[in-house]
Structure 1
């Protein structure tokens, strides 16, 4: 058996993971039940941290070129909008881009780096062995078995992989039904439009191709009863009731309802089975964070799984659950909090919303904290060593490297050793290995949290593995040797 990974699910999460594995030197095959790409776009928003992840592989260009940039986001559809423009990122905004196009771009990227994508193939079960796992598949030409070192379920909230592995998926059932319509608006509202009042909430988001997405909730939607499929007439009536205008809506491309069932996998890894994206965490799509967190799951898992298959110690792969499960827990908690705000239609609820909205607009620290949370720029992984440098586990900003920026130097198959004194280029060059890239340059404007840092080791996913305020050729050599011994 060749070292390979079967990725189940050909959505954005599975496609990005497959590409990361291939770039890490591991064969990957994506198994997708749909024969054709679903043109209905559940996800619409690409957040700053996801754009940074894409930029770390040079894949961000088409997204930035085609997406509609918006200067911020929202938390619970509060009237005070989150302002992303002050974020320390090359992408201080959100992009509106339909998931169908995101998938198309990511599939092209995955195929370009060598991943196979099997469409029209449905996974029916798994058989795990001491040194491998067999994935049972029904395809257009009949049943087949794929043997691999690992299988990763990126196959959504109803994950066949998760169920076959017997991983618990606990949480709360749906009590609220949101609705959406992708339509043409002849009289669209201004970008960033949102309304909230006692009769409900409504947002309008511009999309490429001349469409707008209308999303909302009314008090009647706080229910456990399914009222039937959404119709254009119902969407029009709800919009007029909330906005006083239907904005000239016509030609619907997609009409849908969705619930707030919220669940989190008990573990992201069980033996040779791993989970990412909605297979690991399900929640109400508040703020459009779901797809983004899933792609960030894949960014964390991809390099670790590839390194494990190259011979790195087994414990490295266990850190995937250790690091990402708390992120999933924070995601589900934040989603529940936003649902509470989005359904606060009583006078008391409206007062609470007004109070919190005023804090966002009046207290920059509140805006900055929520913006960092929603954008995922605040995600940091607690280091195993309590005496580690404070930067250990944090996301390294692009501004940590002058000129090219940090992201242009990152690779899926190697760590990056930075000399921030700009004085050790010769010493660094002899430390270079296939798994260690090196760069020496003094930053012209280091972020405040990086003041005094003289060297840092950056993981393939852009998080700090090690840092020091006292660099020397000897210390850099020790860090490089420790890395090469652990990652091969």
Structure 2
């Protein structure tokens, strides 16, 4: 890593959101540098669902050609209540939802960015950021503690829910802390029944088999509050929760991934401060229900690239205001629907009446279409309604 260099845009974070944005900017002629604190791509497929609007965006960039044929993801849900997302627009070429492991998508987006000439500096952390009238000067620390300075016209924070960019630039991040959490794990060597948001007396359980033979389990104990942990939950914690909810013992299995996610709900007060912009989980933190977190982030990146390129080509500063004006209302709307789904999913016996009424309402086609459009990102209930 050079001691100092200049770039048009510094993208912080080499996940799917940062890589999509970097590829778009480089395809538009911008000099782009990406820094990523991890040494290599993530090996866990945290998300695996792509929605109709995201499929459109990937198709426009020829990314779908690289991904190949994706399997149909089957019906979706709203708060664990079955919802066929194709009802958003049955004639849409990408009606419904599609399955693509996040690891696969990230790999393809990385290859696209690399082929376009994007440089990705791994094991490199952003440690300082100072805005000036015509540039942003950042400090980075690379492998073995080597330090460097990157001077950029613009900085895009795509570095996740604990964003260093957001913190260093001083973005307000109001919202609500977590009150509920769900444990999840990918486990080898177990054979248990498939479950889809099965509500049992003690909690909620989901289980399904991945193509590699591992089983994804997700479990929530009604009334349990998020635990303070230094990292991911231990397998013994997942085993105990699964046994309490289902009565099954999965302790003989081998965990290959462990994770916990909660219903924290926060959104940046603005997606732009001067020459610093946020996209993806850096701009909003939410429970990843139905793949909406990944899709929302990818759509942020796709929306940001156009205004940023316009500004780099000499457009007025105000051209970037349209990014915040278009995407922040969409983010707020998504966080609201996720909060509603979280209640329906993780609420205990006390919310059964709410679930019953909601299920009755979903018996109406207009209601299903409205909710499906909201999640899919197409039609009058999706981002287009606020764009």
**Pair in the same fold by TM > 0.5:** yes
243, 255, 263: which is aligned to 1:260? 263
Which residue of the partner structure matches residue 321 of structure 2?
Answer: 318
Unpaired segments of 5 or more residues in structure 2?
none
Which residue of the partner structure matches residue 209 of structure 1?
Answer: 212
Quick check: 1:93 aligned with 2:96? yes
1:114-135 Cα deviation digits (max 9, x unpaired): 2111111110011212111112
Partners of 1:227 and 1:311 in 2: CA distance: 48
Contact in 2 for aligned 1:29/1:115 (Cα 8 Å):
yes
* TM-aligned CA distance change 1:211 to 1:357, over 3 Å: farther
Partners of 2:310 and 2:355 in 1: CA distance: 47
Which residue of the partner structure matches residue 283 of structure 2?
Answer: 280
* TM-aligned CA distance change 1:64 to 1:91, over 3 Å: farther
Quick check: 1:72 aligned with 2:75? yes
Partners of 1:322 and 1:3 in 2: CA distance: 26
Which residue of the partner structure matches residue 56 of structure 1?
Answer: 60
Quick check: 1:226 aligned with 2:236? no
Partners of 1:134 and 1:358 in 2: CA distance: 56
112, 123, 127: which is aligned to 1:124? 127
Equivalent position SS for 1:203: strand
Matches of residues 112-261 of structure 1 in structure 2 within 5 Å? 112-140=115-143, 142-184=146-188, 187=191, 189=193, 193-221=196-224, 223-226=225-228, 230-243=233-246, 245=248, 250-261=253-264
**Runs of 4+ with deviation above 6 angstroms:** none
Output the TM-score relative to the length of structure 2: 0.89
* TM-aligned CA distance change 1:144 to 1:227, over 3 Å: closer
Contact in 2 for aligned 1:3/1:309 (Cα 8 Å):
no
Contact in 1 for aligned 2:86/2:97 (Cα 8 Å):
no
Deviates more, 1:12-21 or 1:48-57: 48-57
1:307-335 Cα deviation digits (max 9, x unpaired): 11011232211100011111111122122
Q: Which has the larger radius of gyration?
A: 1
Which residue of the partner structure matches residue 41 of structure 2?
Answer: 37
Contact in 1 for aligned 2:48/2:100 (Cα 8 Å):
yes
Partners of 1:235 and 1:299 in 2: CA distance: 37
Matches of residues 303-342 of structure 1 in structure 2 within 5 Å? 303-342=306-345
Which residue of the partner structure matches residue 110 of structure 2?
Answer: 107
* TM-aligned CA distance change 1:226 to 1:314, over 3 Å: closer
Contact in 2 for aligned 1:31/1:121 (Cα 8 Å):
yes
Contact in 2 for aligned 1:327/1:379 (Cα 8 Å):
yes
Contact in 1 for aligned 2:201/2:245 (Cα 8 Å):
no
Structure 1 vs Structure 2 CA RMSD: 2.4
Contact in 2 for aligned 1:40/1:254 (Cα 8 Å):
yes
1:383-411 Cα deviation digits (max 9, x unpaired): xxxxxxxxxx4xxxxxxxxxxxxxxxxxx
Partners of 1:159 and 1:230 in 2: CA distance: 22
Contact in 1 for aligned 2:17/2:301 (Cα 8 Å):
yes
Output the TM-score relative to the length of structure 1: 0.72
Unpaired segments of 5 or more residues in structure 1?
383-392, 394-488
1:346-388 Cα deviation digits (max 9, x unpaired): 2x4112212212332x212111111111122221254xxxxxx
Contact in 1 for aligned 2:52/2:94 (Cα 8 Å):
yes
Higher relative contact order (CA 8 A, sep 6+): 2
